[in-house]
């Protein structure tokens, strides 16, 4: 069951969603780009393991939601063939990037372990710190939001 909630990070009242599953609840705010999961309880093993595998920027920008006793992070959205949305920069000045999946010409496939498609991070489109929703729109994963 999905419902709109008030975002604890940016206080937006109409673009933050809670999705209740059987075993956990996930959260994503399309306004600020922060996400969480009920398994990311403050000081929990799941949270500690997640932090070990997260980029330093994501670690540095974590937000503690004391109401839910969970930690929120800037989202990293991997949609396979649609590409990847991720934050880049430093805690005081970061942007959202959208990297598309592109075809690799046959003559260049050797540079990419013989793959015919790759994530084009070098030419990722940049959106401002407030541009998470625009990055999602560029990726084509939002409908009727904002």
SS3 84: strand
pLDDT at 65 (0 to 100): 97
41-63 residue pLDDT tens: 999 998 999 889 899 999 999 99
pLDDT at 46 (0 to 100): 86
Vertex 43 angle, CA 88 and 20, to 5°: 75
pLDDT at 137 (0 to 100): 94
Give the chain's mean pLDDT. 94
Q: Percentage of the chain surpassing pLDDT 70?
A: 97
pTM, two decimal places: 0.89
pLDDT at 43 (0 to 100): 93
- Residues 114-119: what's their mean pLDDT? 93
Asked if the model's pLDDT at residue 144 lies above 70, the reply is no
- The closest of 145, 137, 15 to 82, measured between CA atoms, is 137
Cα 83 from chain centroid?
A: 12
Tell me how far apart the alpha carbons of residues 89 and 99 are, in angstroms, rounded to a whole number: 15
145 vs 16, higher pLDDT: 16
Burial of 17 (0-12, 13-18, 19+ CB in 10 A): middle
Q: If phi over 0 gives left and psi between -120 and 50 gives alpha, with beta otherwise, what is residue 33?
A: left
Asked if the model's pLDDT at residue 1 lies above 90, the reply is no
């Amino acid at each position: 069951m999905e419902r709109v909630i008030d975002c604890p990070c940016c206080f937006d009242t109409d673009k933050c969603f809670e999705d209740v599953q059987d075993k956990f609840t996930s959260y994503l705010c399309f306004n600020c780009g922060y996400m969480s999961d009920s398994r990311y309880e403050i000081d929990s093993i799941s949270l500690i393991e997640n932090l070990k595998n997260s980029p330093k920027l994501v670690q540095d920008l974590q937000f503690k939601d004391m109401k839910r006793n969970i930690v929120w992070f800037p989202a990293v959205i991997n949609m396979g063939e649609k590409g990847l949305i991720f934050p880049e920069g430093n805690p005081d000045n970061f942007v959202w990037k959208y990297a598309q999946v592109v075809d690799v010409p046959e003559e260049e496939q050797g540079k990419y372990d013989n793959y015919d498609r790759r994530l084009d991070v070098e030419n990722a489109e940049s959106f401002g710190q407030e541009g998470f929703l625009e990055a999602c729109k560029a990726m084509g994963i939002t409908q009727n939001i904002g």
